[in-house]
Structure formats: C-alpha cells, structure tokens
Amino acid sequence: MSIISPSTNPGRLRSFIHCLAVLLDDKPTEDRILCEGGVLLRQLIAVDDWLPDACAQARPERYQQYLLHADSSERFSVVSFVWGPGQTTPIHDHTVWGLIGMLRGAEYSQAYRAADDGSLRPEGDAVKLVPGTVEAVSPTIGDIHRVRNAFADSVSVSIHVYGANIGAVRRSVYAEDGSSKPFISGYSNAHLPNIRDRSIELENL
Ligand code: FE
C-alpha cells in the first residue's frame, strides 16, 4: 500500500511534462497541440493527488500563479492558478497557445472580442469550468478573456499550460473601452516543486 500523501505524488505531473515535450518534439500544428495536449491535460487533472500544497495556497490580496515547470527551451510552461474567494483577473491576452484545466472548485471564463469602435465586448456567455474541464485560448481561436472564481466563499485551482515561459511574456491587460496596458505576469513562487525526487515512490514499489 502506498504511503504517498494526497498532495505529494509527483509522478503524474512528471509524466505529463514528458508526454507534452514528446508531442512538441514532433513540431505539431497548433490545432494538434490544443487537441492532443488537451487530452494530456485532461488526464493530468483527472486525479487530484499530485499538486504540492505549497502551489495551492490562496492569498487575500490577489490570485496566485505558481510555476510548476518550465521547459528547458521555454517551449511551454505549467502553472497552477489559485483563486481565493471572489478573485478575478483583469481582461487580458496571452499571445501564445494556452490550455486551462480545472482541478478544484470552479471558475468562469468570459471571452471578449473587439467591436468596430475598438471597444471590447463580451463574446457569448461566460464558460463555467468545473473539475475535469479543459479550455483553450490562442491568438488564432480567441485570446482575450477575463477569469473569475465561481465561488465567493472558497478557493478554486486550475492548471494552465502555455506555449512559452508565460511569466516572462510581454502581454496586455485591457479596459472595456479597448485601451490596453502592457504587463509581464511573473510568478508567485520563488522555488519550483521538486518533482525529480523519486525516492518515496521507489521505496513503495
Ligand atoms: Fe488567461
């Protein structure tokens, strides 16, 4: 019987990172990345036993974004977003492909599109993401949205994968009148989780 605690099973994240890197080695189209990468992300979030507790901590001042892994060539990054009660992002873009998988709780993603007068208008209803849901963004399929925790009284966690080291990408936040400001998000954590120590897993084989 395994003695691995519910939040310290890094094998699932390690496997996801490996499989995504193998997919990207094939230099796939964006369509294929979103489709096959989405399948991999759905598998990753299907079981909630691997996210380190340190990367699931909400803070009252704002939502948190913890870097879990950055590819050595910065082809992709994996980030846990932790939403405190009622927390929301500004309207923002990504400039690269992204996949969002809901792990705990729920969130709403509202897409925006530029109107003829340059202002930003909501496009359709907000999409509700629940555990197991995967959503995609990119400049080709729709890149501007606002995300908020669906709950006013509890924490939600989503796992995001982007086609770059997203914390270092020059992006924009928007007002509804269409005006924008540049931003670089950075990350909330100074240290990465150690997913390479296999000793506990090996002792339990
Ligand atoms: Fe986003």
In-domain check, residue 200: no
pLDDT tens by residue, 65-84: 999 999 999 999 999 999 99
Residue 10 has pLDDT above 50, yes or no: yes
Cα 106 from Cα 102, distance rounded (Å)? 7
In-domain check, residue 67: yes
Q: Is 178 left (phi over 0), alpha (psi -120 to 50) or beta?
A: left
Domain span holding position 51: 2-187
Tell me which of 8-12, 38-42, 66-70 is least confident: 8-12
List the end-to-end C-alpha distance of the chain, in Å, as a whole number.
Answer: 9
* Residues 113-128, mean pLDDT to the nearest whole number: 94
pLDDT band with cut points at 50, 70 and 90 for residue 202: confident
Q: How far is the CA of 102 from the centre of ligand 1 (A)?
A: 13
Q: How far is the CA of 205 from the centre of ligand 1 (A)?
A: 39
Q: Where residue 34 sits, what CATH number does that domain have?
A: 2.60.120.10
In-domain check, residue 194: no
Q: How far is the CA of 94 from the centre of ligand 1 (A)?
A: 6
CA dihedral 161, 66, 59, 132 (to 10 degrees): 30
Number of domains in the chain: 1
In-domain check, residue 193: no
Q: How far is the CA of 167 from the centre of ligand 1 (A)?
A: 12
Q: How far is the CA of 136 from the centre of ligand 1 (A)?
A: 10
Task: Tell me the three-class secondary structure of the chain, residue by residue.
Answer: CCCCCCCCCCHHHHHHHHHHHHHHHCCCCHHHHHHHHHHHHHHHHCCCCCCCHHHCCCCCCCCEEEEEEECCCCCCEEEEEEECCCCECCEECCCCCEEEEEEECCEEEEEEEECCCCCEEECCCCEEECCCCEEEEECCCECCEEEEECCCCCCEEEEEEECCCHHHCCEEEECCCCCEEEECCCCCCCCCCCCCCCHHHHHCC
pTM of the predicted model as reported, rounded to 2 decimal places: 0.94
Q: How far is the CA of 127 from the centre of ligand 1 (A)?
A: 13
Residue 2 has pLDDT above 70, yes or no: no
pLDDT band with cut points at 50, 70 and 90 for residue 162: very high
Q: How far is the CA of 147 from the centre of ligand 1 (A)?
A: 7
Q: How far is the CA of 1 from the centre of ligand 1 (A)?
A: 39
In-domain check, residue 204: no
In-domain check, residue 101: yes
Residue with tokens 């359709």: 124
Please say whether the beta carbons of 134 and 42 come within 8 A: yes
In-domain check, residue 201: no
Residue 108 has pLDDT above 70, yes or no: yes
pLDDT tens by residue, 89-102: 999 999 999 999 99
Q: How far is the CA of 36 from the centre of ligand 1 (A)?
A: 20
In-domain check, residue 144: yes
Q: Which of 16, 161, 137 is nearest to 74 (CA)?
A: 161
